[in-house]
């Protein structure tokens, strides 16, 4: 029997990993999420609190999946504070996904902050297809670097490089992930670029990749209420991020005048993106 992905499924938190002081990974059993494609997301219902969109992580135990939560405001703090054995509700997986072109031999991935999460699931697939992969993980400081070890593990069967950058120089290469991307592209050729992270970073990635005529796929985020294309809270121009995305290629990104410029708050009011 097919499971209806629009209905909430109740799952029990099986394991919790403390990644940093403000970031935790919750692991639970769900076959649909286990089989999800890289870049897809779920809506997570936190009983008595909120429902939030969350990216799906790669988890290598059959039928298990994981979400990684950065504790920010009320909803994410409630989710972050869950314990082993607690229940949450999930809908999805929703949205389109990163696509690996058949002719791809060598690709470049750029992830900033928690944006590295959907890229890890992509890395797992690139590993399976033996695509030569360079992953740049950007963070503000050493304490905020996520999943360097896991990335090397998920890419262990293919040629790969994991490069870490920190803005304060406390670990890896000093600078922004996009500076390193620009330097790498001076010497190496790639077939595709994939990115997820703060939108201003993704806009820079798009601009740099475009200057090298490289195709890009970017995983965008917007305020989401329904997650299934009904409420329009996630619109970016004509596109609904939850339904038409969340992954957009360079052909779509080029015509999105709000990309890297404007976000919308809970009430739909436009807000200018700042560094």
For position 229 contacting ligand FES by CB under 6 A, the verdict is yes
- Whole-number Å distance between alpha carbons of 24 and 16: 7
Residue 63 interacting entry, from ligand FES, ligand FAD, none, C-beta within 5 to 8 Å by type: none
- Least Å distance, CB 117 to ligand FAD, is 5
CA distances to 197, 243, 257 from 41, in Å? 14, 11, 24
For position 129 contacting ligand FAD by CB under 6 A, the verdict is no
- Whole-number Å distance between alpha carbons of 180 and 198: 16
Whose CB is nearest to ligand FAD?
73
Q: Which is nearer to ligand FAD, 41 or 147 (CB)?
A: 41
List all residues 6 or more positions away from 85 whose beta carbon is below 8 Å from its beta carbon: 12, 13
Q: Which is nearer to ligand FES, 196 or 205 (CB)?
A: 196
Residue 66 interacting entry, from ligand FES, ligand FAD, none, C-beta within 5 to 8 Å by type: none
Distance of CA 109 to the CA centre of its chain: 11
For position 232 contacting ligand FES by CB under 6 A, the verdict is yes
Residue 229 interacting entry, from ligand FAD, ligand FES, none, C-beta within 5 to 8 Å by type: ligand FES
Strands 41-46 and 87-94: antiparallel
CB atoms within 10 A of CB 143: 14
CA gyration radius, the chain: 18
Tell whether omega for the bond before 96 is within 30 degrees of 0, i.e. cis. no
- Whole-number Å distance between alpha carbons of 199 and 202: 5
Quick check: helix, strand or coil at residue 155?
coil
For position 264 contacting ligand FES by CB under 6 A, the verdict is no
**Interface of this chain with ligand FAD, residues 34 to 73, rule: CB under 6 A:** 41, 50, 52-55, 67-70, 72-73
Q: Which is nearer to ligand FES, 7 or 62 (CB)?
A: 7
Q: Which is nearer to ligand FES, 175 or 229 (CB)?
A: 229
Question: Quick one: which of 37, 71, 225, 264 contacts ligand FES (CB under 6 A)?
Answer: 225
For position 268 contacting ligand FES by CB under 6 A, the verdict is no
Tokens of 173: 């290469």
Contact stretch for ligand FES (CB under 6 A) within 109-117, 118-126, 175-183, 233-241? 233-241
For position 88 contacting ligand FAD by CB under 6 A, the verdict is no
Residue 74 interacting entry, from ligand FES, ligand FAD, none, C-beta within 5 to 8 Å by type: ligand FAD
Q: b/e string for 161-184 if b means 16 or more Cβ within 10 A?
A: ebbbbbeeeebbbebbbbbbbbeb
CB atoms within 10 A of CB 17: 11
**Interface of this chain with ligand FAD, residues 211 to 240, rule: CB under 6 A:** 221-224
Length of the chain measured in residues: 275
Chain residues in the site for ligand FES (CB under 6 A) = 224-227, 229-234, 240, 242
């Amino acid at each position: 029997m097919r499971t209806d992905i629009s209905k909430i499924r109740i799952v029990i938190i099986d394991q919790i990993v403390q990644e940093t002081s403000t970031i935790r990974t919750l692991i639970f059993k769900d076959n649909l999420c286990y089989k999800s494609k890289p870049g897809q997301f779920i809506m997570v219902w936190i009983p008595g609190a909120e429902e939030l969109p969350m990216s799906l992580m790669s988890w290598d135990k059959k039928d298990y999946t994981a979400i990684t939560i950065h504790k920010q405001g009320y909803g994410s703090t409630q989710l972050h504070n869950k314990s082993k054995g607690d229940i949450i509700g999930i809908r999805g997986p929703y949205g389109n996904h990163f696509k690996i072109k058949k002719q791809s031999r060598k690709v470049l991935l750029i992830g900033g902050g928690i944006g590295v999460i959907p890229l890890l699931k992509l890395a797992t697939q690139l590993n399976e297809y033996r695509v030569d992969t360079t992953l740049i993980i950007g963070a503000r400081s050493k304490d905020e670097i996520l999943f360097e070890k896991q990335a090397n593990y998920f890419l262990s069967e293919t040629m790969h490089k994991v490069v870490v950058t920190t803005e304060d120089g406390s670990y890896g290469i000093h600078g922004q992930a996009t500076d390193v991307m620009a330097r790498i592209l001076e010497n190496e050729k790639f077939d595709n670029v994939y990115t997820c992270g703060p939108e201003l970073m993704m806009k820079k990635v798009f601009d740099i990749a475009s200057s090298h005529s490289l195709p890009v796929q970017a995983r965008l985020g917007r305020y989401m209420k329904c997650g299934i294309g009904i409420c329009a809270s996630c619109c970016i121009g004509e596109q609904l991020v939850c339904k038409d995305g969340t992954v957009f290629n360079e052909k779509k990104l080029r015509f999105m005048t709000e990309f890297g410029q404007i976000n919308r708050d809970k009430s739909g009011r436009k807000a200018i993106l700042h560094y």
